[in-house]
Amino acid sequence: MTIFRFALKRILRDKTNVLFLSLFPIAAIFLPLAQEGWPLLPLGYQYFGVLLLFVSIRLTSIMIEDRQKGVVKRLAAAPISHFNYLWQNLLAFSVIMVIQTVIVIIGGHVYGHELYEPWNLAILYIVFTFTSISISLAWNSLYRSKESSFLIFMAVIVLIALLGGILFPVEMMPEAFQRIAVIFPTYWLSEGIEWIVLGEDRGDFLFINGVLLLYALFFLIIGSIRRIS
């Protein structure tokens, strides 16, 4: 677990990371309540998925740094396999983001927010965490510069949040866009949030999480293919 511990230290050594990882989730707890009707959860919880996407692209960018420094190439001659390098880094990212989720859920409960089913909401966010990390891993595999990757991905996040129903209801979009929305992971996150507030059939919730896990697996495969650049 040497790489895992080293990845955690790298992340927490960066003061900007510490600020980003601690203050923003806490701020989400104290965002005002939603207006009547939509969104169904307090604003910070409706938009928490967007924060997870931002955090995941920032964390996974350290793997671009490793490619730039030739770390990935040196793994070929080292006793540590690429698989170990990959999964221990991803585990470090996941642990940090899961802790964020726990803080947000517990903080919201203590603060008095109506979260309906906090445990299920935590499960949904954690599953979306894995999806976000996988998407970011695949995205970063396309870039040699972490700055370029981050800046462009910020625009992508806004786009998929808009089209996926995170920033406003899918029902407000033209019919063609409503059909397109289902291809975005953010759509399934918003569907999961709706189920937590209104849903009754447990199978629907399992299906939503299953779709998100399939996205996670798909992008993980794409992102892990690129070993050496």
Tell me how far apart the alpha carbons of residues 112 and 226 are, in angstroms, rounded to a whole number.
45
- Asked whether residue 66 carries a pLDDT value surpassing 50, the answer given is yes
List, for residues 154-200, the tens digit of each pLDDT value.
999 999 999 999 988 898 889 999 999 999 999 999 999 999 999 87
**Structural domain harbouring 51:** 2-225
- Asked whether residue 229 carries a pLDDT value surpassing 70, the answer given is no
Could you tell me how many residues make up the chain?
229
Residue 61 identity: S
Q: What is the pLDDT of residue 75?
A: 63
Q: What is the pLDDT of residue 14?
A: 86
pTM score: 0.92
Tell me how far apart the alpha carbons of residues 219 and 210 are, in angstroms, rounded to a whole number.
14
Residue 38 identity: W
Domain count, the chain: 1
Question: Cβ neighbours of residue 75 under 8 Å, at least 6 residues apart?
Answer: 81, 82, 85, 227
Residue 213 CA: distances (Å) to CA of 54, 163, 166: 19, 20, 19
